[in-house]
Amino acid sequence: MSQMSTEPDGIRPSLTRREDIPDEQWNDWRWHMRKRITNLDKAREWIRPTLLEERAIAETAGKYRWSVTPYYASLMDPYDPGCPVRQQAVPALGELLEFSGAEVDPVGDMYYRKTNRVVHKYPDRVIMLITEACPVYCRHCTRKFHTTDVDGTYFERSEGEDFSEDLRYIAGHPEIRDVLLTGGDPLSYRDGKLEEIIAGLRAIPSVEIIRIGSRFPVLLPQRITPDLCAMLARYHPVWLNTHFNHPKEITPEAERAVDRLLRHGIPVGNQTVLLRGINDEVDTMRRLMTELLRIRVRPYYLYHCDNVTGVSHFMTSIEKGWEIMEGLQGHITGFGVPQYVLTTRLGKIPIARPYHRETPDGLALRNYRGEEMLVDDSVCPLTESAAAHGFRHAPDVTENRTTATGEGAR
Ligand SMILES: *Cc1c(COP(=O)(O)O)cnc(C)c1O
Ligand code: SF4
């Protein structure tokens, strides 16, 4: 094979490869944090930036933070700016374009914020924005203003103070049984500080489950250490949701991190964002979902990309989302199919197209191949009164059911 086809510019210093880095460093998440790529020169160790990327890096500097872990950089195609990993991590000029309807907080996190960190939007659960920091600043971040904008933040004060006011709010609202730690990335904290927060939550009797939203399994899976998992396991029930967007991100390192979490009893779910040019193809999404199942991660949500300032260029259409969902449903197992939602001020709204419609003759059902059938009231009663009507003609059945229920209740 010709070297020239993969290394078009032999004059420049050669690119770094995973193999060039000793395991001791590669497996140490702190090494990756110290070696994060934050400027063009460092980026050149991993990729050959295009002129457009160079311009974007220069023009977004001072406006949006930029940081990429060497681990995540190693997944980028060094020569292809269209690489799905690269597009998530390298600034693009699209971030500076003004889109109509774009907002810094379209889902109202700031509006529903009750303390510095607690966002209380649903009756029984809250999110706690415990930090602004992330190992990689994903270009498509839905909280771009909070995490990535140099001058932006959802916080009133700077982070890193004590959490007593936030914990007091949660303790004072016993209807909150589910707390989701998010940010930024909660695992940006060292284990000790994280444990302090989690222990504080565990001390509140009304808090039943603690959830963590973290992209570390994707951006720096080495962060998922035995010590971290052992600490989390002391505060069960703890759940973790991560954020894989493309099958390329499912690496042996990521698989090991997920395995470690699962062995510590932490169920791992995944939220994917539908992103133009990155994962907006049925084949890609199908591979992503089946690969997630292979590493025992349960697909949870597929988010439609919100019209967030600096992110709008990644937006697709609902039509595209439907196409993707219809390419998943029925083609792979039901638990590999995420729920397609639009995040709004009113909450996350399921927007997948239904597989049934009501007709005067009953329910019209369609399968994943588009084949339709009608189930009338005698087969599948639509309403409670239709169901009761059916039983009137079969008194024996009604009696048997009553008896059976009575016995079962004992
Ligand atoms: C997403 C979100 C939650 C959690 O939603 P689930 O559907 O339970 O995963 C809670 N609060 C806010 C404000 C959210 O945005
Ligand atoms: S890790 Fe999550 S919170 Fe942080 S920049 Fe990426 S998407 Fe945003």
**pLDDT by residue (tens digit) across 257-315?**
999 999 999 999 999 999 999 999 999 999 999 999 999 999 999 999 999 999 999 99
The pLDDT, as a whole number, for residue 1 is 38
The mean of the pLDDT values for the chain is 92
**Ligand 2 center to 270 CA (angstroms):** 13
Residue 362: which region, alpha, beta or left (left: phi > 0; alpha: psi -120 to 50)? Answer: left
Nearest protein CA to atom 8 of ligand 2, as residue: 141
Q: Judge whether 229 is annotated as a binding position.
A: no
Please tell me if the CB atom of residue 183 comes closer than 6 angstroms to any atom of ligand 2. yes
Q: Which of 137, 278, 311 to mutate to test the pocket of ligand 2 (most atoms within 8 A of CB)?
A: 137
Structure tokens at 258: 């997920």
CA distance 336 to 328: 8
| Residue 91 DSSP label | -
CA angle 401, 405, 408 (to 5 degrees): 140
Q: Which atom of ligand 2 is nearest to the CA of 140?
A: 7
**Ligand 1 center to 348 CA (angstroms):** 7
Q: What are phi and psi of 396, to 5 degrees?
A: -60, -45
Fold for domain 17-353? Answer: TIM Barrel (3.20.20)
Residue 405 has pLDDT above 80, yes or no: no
Using the structure block, give the residue that is written with the tokens 């933070």.
Answer: 65
The pLDDT, as a whole number, for residue 151 is 93
Q: Which of 118, 120, 126, 127 to mutate to test the pocket of ligand 1 (most atoms within 8 A of CB)?
A: 127
Using the structure block, give the residue that is written with the tokens 């024996």.
Answer: 396
Please tell me if the CB atom of residue 127 comes closer than 6 angstroms to any atom of ligand 1. yes
Helices in 295-350 by DSSP H: which ranges? 318-328
Q: Which of 118, 348, 349, 351 to mutate to test the pocket of ligand 1 (most atoms within 8 A of CB)?
A: 348
CA distance 378 to 385: 12
Kindly state the helix (H) or strand (E) to which residue 270 belongs, with its residue range.
strand 268-274
Please tell me if the CB atom of residue 341 comes closer than 6 angstroms to any atom of ligand 1. no
Residue 186 has pLDDT above 60, yes or no: yes
Using the structure block, give the residue that is written with the tokens 């597929």.
Answer: 302
Burial class of residue 23 (count of CB atoms within 10 Å of its CB; 0-12, 13-18, 19+)? exposed
Q: Which atom of ligand 2 is nearest to the CA of 134?
A: 4
**Ligand 2 center to 403 CA (angstroms):** 55
pTM for this prediction: 0.92
Kindly state the helix (H) or strand (E) to which residue 51 belongs, with its residue range.
helix 51-60
Residue 401 has pLDDT above 60, yes or no: no
Nearest protein CA to atom 14 of ligand 1, as residue: 127
Tell me, rounded to whole angstroms, the distance of Cα 376 from its chain centroid.
40
Q: Band of the pLDDT at 229, cuts 50, 70, 90?
A: very high
Please tell me if the CB atom of residue 185 comes closer than 6 angstroms to any atom of ligand 2. yes
DSSP of 110-138, one letter per residue? TTTBSSSSEE--SSSEEEEE--S--SS--
The pLDDT, as a whole number, for residue 33 is 98
Structure tokens at 340: 């397609």
Tell me the CA distances in angstroms from 394 to 378, 382, 389, 401, 407, one per residue in order. Answer: 12, 18, 9, 11, 21
Nearest protein CA to atom 7 of ligand 2, as residue: 141
The pLDDT, as a whole number, for residue 386 is 83
DSSP of 284-332, one letter per residue? HHHHHHHHHHHTTPEEEEEEEPP-BTTTGGG---HHHHHHHHHHHBTTB
Q: Band of the pLDDT at 10, cuts 50, 70, 90?
A: low
Nearest protein CA to atom 13 of ligand 1, as residue: 121
CA distance 16 to 153: 35
Q: What are phi and psi of 64, to 5 degrees?
A: -120, 140
The pLDDT, as a whole number, for residue 2 is 39
Dihedral (C-alpha) 57, 60, 66, 70: value to the nearest 10 degrees?
Answer: -10
Residue 133 has pLDDT above 70, yes or no: yes
The pLDDT, as a whole number, for residue 381 is 87
- What ranges make up the beta strands (E) of 139-264? 178-182, 209-213, 238-242
Q: Judge whether 134 is annotated as a binding position.
A: yes
Structure tokens at 339: 């729920």
Q: Which atom of ligand 2 is nearest to the CA of 184?
A: 3
Domain boundary assignment for the chain: 17-353, 356-392
Structure tokens at 73: 């950089």
**Ligand 1 center to 194 CA (angstroms):** 20
8 A C-beta contact, residue 92 and residue 56: yes
Helices in 162-251 by DSSP H: which ranges? 164-171, 191-202, 216-219, 226-233
Please tell me if the CB atom of residue 125 comes closer than 6 angstroms to any atom of ligand 1. yes
Tell me the CA distances in angstroms from 77 to 19, 74, 80, 246, 249, one per residue in order. Answer: 16, 8, 5, 13, 12
